Each structure stands twice: as C-alpha cells, then as structure tokens.
C-alpha cells in the first residue's frame, strides 16, 4: 500500500505580464516547500529562470525535477518529485493555434505533453503533465478542432507509452469542461479516471471548479455564464496490471492563499491524495468506457475535426488565391516597367513613388499569403491525419 500526494497548478507565471507575478511565484515555492507533496506538476512556468529559482528553493524536499523545453517560449511544463526521475520524453502537439493570432500567443508556446517515469517501492509510475490550447470564446470556439487533435494525440501518446507502467497519472490544464467531447474522448480512449468524480472526500470550490469568480485574477466577464466557475484543471489516473488506485481526498484552493491577500494564480490548484494497492489477481488493461459508448465519443470528435478541416481547407484556398493575385499584380507591374524601359510608352506614365510602393505592397502580400498558405496546408494535413486515425479506431472498435 502506497499513499501519494499530488499537486497540480497552472501558475500563470508570465514575466512582465502576469499580475503580481514575482510575489506569487515566491508564494507557490513557499507553500510547496511547506506542504511537502510527493509530486508537483506545474504549467505556465514560462521562464526557465523561474524554474531554476523554484528548483533551488525546493531542492530540499523535492530533490528531483525536470523542465520540458519546446517552442519559442518553452512548454511551461515542469515536474518536481520526491522520488528519482528515471526517464523523460516530450511530445509536441502537431497543431496549436495560429502564429498570426499574436494576442492569443498559444502557437509560440509549443504546447506539449511531458512524460516522466518514476518508480516508488517497485511500482512504475508514468506521470504526464500537459497544457492544451486555451478556449478564448466558448460560443464560437475557433480552436476546437486544434484542441481535439491535441486531446487525441495526448490519448494516443499515453496509450502507446504507458504499456509498461503500473500506474498512469495525468495532471494539467486541459482547457476543457468535464462534459466536453475532448475530455470524454481522452478519458474513454485511455481509460483514465477523474480524481474529482472518484474522490471519497472532497474539499474546495463547489463542483471542483478551478477558474472561479472569487479569484481576483480571473476575468469576470468570461465567467458570467458560469456563476460557480468552471473546472478545466484535472488530475486523472488509472492503474494497469495488478494495481488498484483510489482517490482518498481531493482538494482545490479557493481563491486567496491562506493568510495572504492574493491567490497563487488565476487558476486554483488541484491536490489529490491517491492510495495505491497491489491486487491479488492481475486484471487486463481495460478501457474505462463500454465500447459502444466509446465509438459514439470518437464519432462525435471526428465530426468536430471534420468541421475544422473544412474551415482549414477554406483558409488554405483563400490564402493561396491571395498569393496568386499578388503574383499577378507583380507580373503586371514588371510588364509595365519593362514596357517603359523598352521605350514603348512615351515619357513616365506612372509616378515612380506610388509605383514602387505598390510593388513593395504586392511583394509583402505575396510573402505573407504564401506563408499562411503553407501553414494552412500543414493544418489541413494534420486534421486529415487525425480524422483518418479516428476512422481507423472506429473500424477497429466495430470489428
């Protein structure tokens, strides 16, 4: 029998941008040192300097740690552990928003899932930490298909890499509500269980919410349709082979940190106490959901991916057309300029300044549209690939 205390938090540690950022990182470090969890899964630790500061501070109680590097800014993912980390692997999602959506910035973060393997008293734990693409507008979610591709890749990555694990644990900001198709897909395809619904004892925000109006850093207008808040940060788990995992206690923070005037982050932390027990007889790895229901979820997800695919194809087409138009304009200008040079036209028929400005504009549009066209081509390919994988999974389920 083993008891494991797990901590998960989206830290919202963006240098120079997040509110009262230094104070909060210090607070988080202090609390982690004081509480002495077994395993700490953090997201949005964007700066490696912050990771190193935390590492220096937490070295005593968490001698082992790993920071996952990816993308321009970094993945923001890191793990602190009381037990030796035996191995790590990073899988970067193939789709992650759009580079030109600078105000959303997800593309630059190289969203990924990190895996660390630890072994505690002979039990092999595969620990996954991840952060999926944010949902900026629930009514008209432009990133739904990207997030679904990420959820699918996350599920596939977990399935393929966890075959030798005794216990699988996933913590992170999934940016999906519990009833969303992506989370149902992830849970049913991997057989992972939700610590909140399984917990024998719960303390914290009502409904296990992790983005609450009570937190002074959350954007209140975004939470208007959800007076209690929303639950988008999760700890999920499953036991394979001959083990049983139970969630004894699940807690969340409830806004303001104890004895302080600010919360640790704009998200609430999720803390689970898991109880792992060796079972008499080995049971085969089983999917958590009955197969007909699983087929329904995959079909639903596939439909959403197809919708995203059609939008991406449309964008690929428009950007391609734009590039062709810019090229035509350039060619036209070249012909006109050559005509002038060859003396076909008398004098200087165009004002030089506006002529060259127009040429520069056309070159700019050509480059931009070509870049976007390439980008949307990749997007189409990845959406098609995911859709085909889902189709294959459905066929396998039906057989």
CA separation, residue 296 to residues 118, 151, 191, 282 (Å) = 35, 16, 15, 29
Q: DSSP letter string over 140-205?
A: T-TTHHHHHHHHHHHHHHHHHH-TT-SEEEEEEE----TTSHHHHHHHHHHT-EEHHHH-SEEESS
Can residue 333 be called a binding residue for its own copies (CB under 8 A)? no
Nearer to its own copies, 108 or 217 (CB): 108
Q: Is 303 helix (H, G, I), strand (E, B) or coil?
A: helix
Known catalytic residue at 267: yes
Cβ atoms of residues 10 and 267 within 8 Å: yes
Q: Which of 40, 65, 97, 110 binds its own copies (CB under 8 A)?
A: 110
Can residue 256 be called a binding residue for its own copies (CB under 8 A)? no
Q: Which of 62, 68, 196, 264 binds its own copies (CB under 8 A)?
A: 68
CA separation, residue 155 to residues 194, 230, 327, 354 (Å) = 14, 22, 43, 55
Q: Which of 69, 277, 310, 321 binds its own copies (CB under 8 A)?
A: 69
Q: Which of 61, 289, 385, 397 binds its own copies (CB under 8 A)?
A: 385
Can residue 104 be called a binding residue for its own copies (CB under 8 A)? no
Rounded to an integer, what is the distance from CA 89 to the centroid of its chain? 16
Q: Which of 15, 56, 59, 164 binds its own copies (CB under 8 A)?
A: 164
Can residue 389 be called a binding residue for its own copies (CB under 8 A)? yes
Q: Which of 74, 76, 171, 308 binds its own copies (CB under 8 A)?
A: 74
Distance, first Cα to last Cα, the chain? 39
The CA distance from 16 to 22, in Å, is 9
Cβ atoms of residues 64 and 84 within 8 Å: yes
User: Which range of residues in 22-30, 54-62, 152-160, 228-236 is near its own copies by CB under 8 A?
Assistant: 152-160
* Phi-psi group of 270: left, alpha or beta (phi > 0 → left; psi -120 to 50 → alpha; rest → beta): beta
Q: Which of 15, 35, 49, 86 binds its own copies (CB under 8 A)?
A: 86
Can residue 336 be called a binding residue for its own copies (CB under 8 A)? no
Cβ atoms of residues 182 and 176 within 8 Å: yes
The CA distance from 385 to 395, in Å, is 15
Can residue 287 be called a binding residue for its own copies (CB under 8 A)? no
Closest distance to its own copies from the beta carbon of 149 (Å): 12
Residues near its own copies (CB under 8 A), total = 41
Q: Which of 2, 29, 61, 71 binds its own copies (CB under 8 A)?
A: 71
Q: Residue 275 class from Cβ within 10 Å (0-12 exposed, 13-18 middle, 19+ buried)?
A: middle
Q: Which of 89, 228, 324, 330 binds its own copies (CB under 8 A)?
A: 89
The CA distance from 188 to 291, in Å, is 9
Can residue 70 be called a binding residue for its own copies (CB under 8 A)? yes
Place of tokens 């040079």: 341
Closest distance to its own copies from the beta carbon of 350 (Å): 12
Nearer to its own copies, 94 or 318 (CB): 94
From 66, 133, 146, 267, the catalytic residue: 267
Closest distance to its own copies from the beta carbon of 210 (Å): 29
The CA distance from 339 to 350, in Å, is 12
Closest distance to its own copies from the beta carbon of 161 (Å): 5
Can residue 255 be called a binding residue for its own copies (CB under 8 A)? no
Q: Please give the residue ranges that form the binding site for its own copies (CB under 8 A).
A: 68-72, 74, 85-92, 94, 108, 110, 115, 156-157, 159-161, 163-164, 352-353, 356-357, 360, 374, 377-378, 381-382, 384-385, 388-389, 392, 396
> Which residues belong to the active site?
267
């Amino acid at each position: 029998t083993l008891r494991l205390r797990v901590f998960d938090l989206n830290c919202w540690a963006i240098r120079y941008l997040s509110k009262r950022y230094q104070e909060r990182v210090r607070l988080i470090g202090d609390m982690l040192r004081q509480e002495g969890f077994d395993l700490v899964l953090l997201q949005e630790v964007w700066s490696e300097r912050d990771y190193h500061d935390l590492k220096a501070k937490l070295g005593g109680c968490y001698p082992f740690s790993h920071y996952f590097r990816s993308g321009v800014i970094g993945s923001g993912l890191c793990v602190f552990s009381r037990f030796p980390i035996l191995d790590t692997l990073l899988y970067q999602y193939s789709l992650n928003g759009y580079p030109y959506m600078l105000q959303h910035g997800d593309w630059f973060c190289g969203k990924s899932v990190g895996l660390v393997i630890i072994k505690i008293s002979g039990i092999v734990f595969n620990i996954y930490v991840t952060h999926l693409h944010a949902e900026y507008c629930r009514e008209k979610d432009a990133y739904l298909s990207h997030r679904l591709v990420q959820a699918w890749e996350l599920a596939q990555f977990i399935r393929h890499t966890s075959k030798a694990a005794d216990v699988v644990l996933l913590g992170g900001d999934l940016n999906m509500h519990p009833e969303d198709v992506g989370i149902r897909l992830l849970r049913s395809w991997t057989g992972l269980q939700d610590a909140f619904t399984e917990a024998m004892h719960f303390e914290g925000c009502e409904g296990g919410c992790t983005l609450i109006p009570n937190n002074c850093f959350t954007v209140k207008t975004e939470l208007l349709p959800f007076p209690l808040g929303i639950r988008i940060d999760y700890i999920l788990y499953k036991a394979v082979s001959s083990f049983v995992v139970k969630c004894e206690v699940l807690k969340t923070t409830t806004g303001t940190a104890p004895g302080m005037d600010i919360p640790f982050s704009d998200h609430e932390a999720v803390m689970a106490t898991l109880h792992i027990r060796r079972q008499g007889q080995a049971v085969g790895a089983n999917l958590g959901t009955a197969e007909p229901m699983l087929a329904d979820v995959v079909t639903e997800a596939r439909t959403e991916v197809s919708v995203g695919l059609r939008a991406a194809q449309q964008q690929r087409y428009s950007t391609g057309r734009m590039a062709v138009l810019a090229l035509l304009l350039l060619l036209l200008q070249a012909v006109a300029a050559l005509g002038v040079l060859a003396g076909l036209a008398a004098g200087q028929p165009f004002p030089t300044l506006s002529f060259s400005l127009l040429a520069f504009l056309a070159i700019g549009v050509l480059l931009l549209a070509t870049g976007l066209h390439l980008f949307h081509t990749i997007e189409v390919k990845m959406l098609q690939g995911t859709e085909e994988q889902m189709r294959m999974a459905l066929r396998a389920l039906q057989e």
